[in-house]
């Protein structure tokens, strides 16, 4: 059989896309979106899709025009992003979630036979570096040994400490039991990702399990937990002022908040990851504990502060 010759420079009248796909009919984007989500309105994400479409309707009114599915490409999505950020002062994370849903609807429009501008797949929302804190080891110890709490607050504090020592999400560290303990390790099949994680049992965690007869205190709903842990951390004296700059609607604004106001259930996971990095544990080993499959995902949880980083670099010969 004769080998196929690759003639890169030979002219050809062949088109990259067939005439069928080049001549697909167009559809009003909002009309398609409303029809699609109405058919799927029993799904848990219905409200989020509706919210995105309402913002896009407002964006159309802002511009004084409407768009078909074929007119919502990368350039127009970039304009929508700028509108949401500058005019509506929405957070980058909120805008990212909207763009994901917008692109999802465009993909569904194409699969249902409507023409789309396929450049929409290249549209991206650049992440901003949000200020999310972690607790240093001495702050974890301060919280653990603090005595002025009610019984319920003590239970919530103990659950939070387990999160700081295991690096799991609240949905995982709040449901740990003695059945998860194998020898000197904690084994957990993570609820969100179904990844398997194995974490060494620390003295804090062992003491907490023993305190509650071999198990952990009952889990509260995450909304209650997040409110309560702020009150607990305030009582324990985690009140230092956190000062940072934030991009709000294109303007750089100076923000000042007490530390306890920025603490939530997920701070525990960031605390574990960051303190492991500060102790020079390799990221590949930390990821086996947190269950992260990629370094890109893990990097979001490494919250080593810029001050910590500067101190680490200060000993470098070039900077000394």
**pLDDT at residue number 211:** 95
Checking if the pLDDT of 240 tops 80, the result is yes
Find the radius of gyration of the CA atoms of the chain.
25
In this prediction, residue 119 has a pLDDT band, given cuts at 50, 70 and 90, of confident
What is the DSSP track for 214-247? TS-PPPPPHHHHHHHHHHHHHHTT--PEEEEEEE
Average predicted confidence (pLDDT) for the chain:
84
* Torsion over CA: 217, 196, 191, 193 (sign): positive
Which helix (H) or strand (E) segment holds residue 80: the answer is: helix 74-82
Sequence-distant (≥ 6) Cβ neighbours of residue 118 within 8 angstroms: 73, 110
In this prediction, residue 89 has a pLDDT band, given cuts at 50, 70 and 90, of confident
3-class secondary structure, 28: strand
- Residue of higher predicted confidence among 101 and 298: 101
Cα distances from 248 to residues 89, 90, 116, 130, 238, in angstroms, run 6, 8, 32, 12, 27
Taking only the tens place, the pLDDT of each residue in 156-212 is: 999 999 999 999 999 899 999 999 999 999 999 988 778 889 999 999 999 999 999
Taking only the tens place, the pLDDT of each residue in 154-168 is: 999 999 999 999 999
What is the rounded distance in angstroms from the CA atom of residue 123 to the CA atom of residue 280?
A: 37
What is the rounded distance in angstroms from the CA atom of residue 132 to the CA atom of residue 301?
A: 9
Phi and psi, residue 198, nearest 5°:
-130, 125
CB 247 within 8 A of CB 131: no
CB 289 within 8 A of CB 167: yes
Checking if the pLDDT of 216 tops 80, the result is yes
- CA-angle at 90, arms to 87 and 92, nearest 5°: 120
Checking if the pLDDT of 56 tops 90, the result is yes
| Pairing between β-strand 251-258 and β-strand 241-248 as defined by DSSP bridges | antiparallel
* Long-range contacts formed by 90-97: CB under 8 A, 24+ apart: 92/125, 92/126, 92/127, 92/128, 92/130, 92/247, 93/130, 95/125, 96/125, 96/127, 97/48
Tell me what the mean pLDDT of segment 118-142 comes to: 83
**pLDDT at residue number 283:** 83
Tell me what the mean pLDDT of segment 27-36 comes to: 92
In this prediction, residue 320 has a pLDDT band, given cuts at 50, 70 and 90, of very low
3-class secondary structure, 174: coil
The full set of domains in the chain, from first to last, is 19-122 (1.10.150), 137-305 (1.10.443.10)
Enter the DSSP assignment of 261. G
Enter the DSSP assignment of 160. H
**Exposure of 52 by Cβ count < 10 A (0-12 exposed, 13-18 middle, 19+ buried)?**
buried
**pLDDT at residue number 38:** 86
Tell me what the mean pLDDT of segment 58-78 comes to: 90
In this prediction, residue 130 has a pLDDT band, given cuts at 50, 70 and 90, of low
Residue for token pair 């768009």: 67
- Residue of higher predicted confidence among 40 and 221: 221
């Amino acid at each position: 059989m004769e080998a196929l010759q690759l003639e890169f420079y030979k002219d050809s009248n062949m088109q990259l896309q067939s005439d069928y796909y080049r001549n697909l009919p167009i559809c009003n984007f909002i009309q398609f979106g409303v029809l699609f989500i109405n058919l799927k309105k029993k799904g848990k994400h219905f409200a989020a899709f509706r919210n995105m479409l309402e913002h896009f309707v407002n964006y159309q009114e802002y511009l004084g025009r409407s768009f078909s599915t074929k007119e919502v490409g990368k350039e127009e999505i970039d304009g929508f992003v700028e509108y949401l950020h500058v005019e509506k002062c929405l957070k980058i994370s909120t805008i990212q979630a909207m763009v994901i849903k917008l692109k999802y609807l465009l993909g569904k429009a194409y699969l249902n036979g409507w023409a789309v501008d396929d450049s929409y797949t290249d549209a991206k929302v650049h992440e901003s570096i949000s200020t999310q804190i972690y607790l240093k080891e001495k702050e974890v110890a301060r919280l653990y040994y603090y005595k002025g709490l009610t019984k319920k607050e003590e239970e919530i504090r103990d659950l939070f400490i387990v999160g700081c020592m295991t690096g799991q999400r609240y949905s995982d560290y709040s449901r740990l039991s003695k059945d998860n303990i194998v020898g000197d390790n904690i084994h957990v099949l993570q609820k969100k990702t179904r990844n398997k994680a194995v974490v060494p049992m620390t003295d804090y965690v062992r003491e907490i399990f023993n305190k509650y007869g071999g198990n952990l205190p009952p889990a509260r709903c995450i909304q209650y937990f997040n409110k309560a842990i702020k009150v607990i951390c305030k009582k324990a004296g985690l009140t230092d002022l956190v000062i940072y700059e934030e991009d709000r609607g294109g303007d750089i604004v100076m923000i000042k908040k007490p530390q306890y106001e920025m603490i939530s259930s997920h701070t525990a996971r960031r605390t574990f990851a960051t303190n492991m990095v500060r102790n020079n544990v390799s990221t590949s080993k930390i990821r086996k504990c947190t269950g992260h499959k990629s370094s890109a995902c893990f990097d979001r949880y490494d919250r080593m502060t810029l001050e910590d980083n500067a101190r680490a670099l200060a000993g470098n010969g070039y900077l000394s």
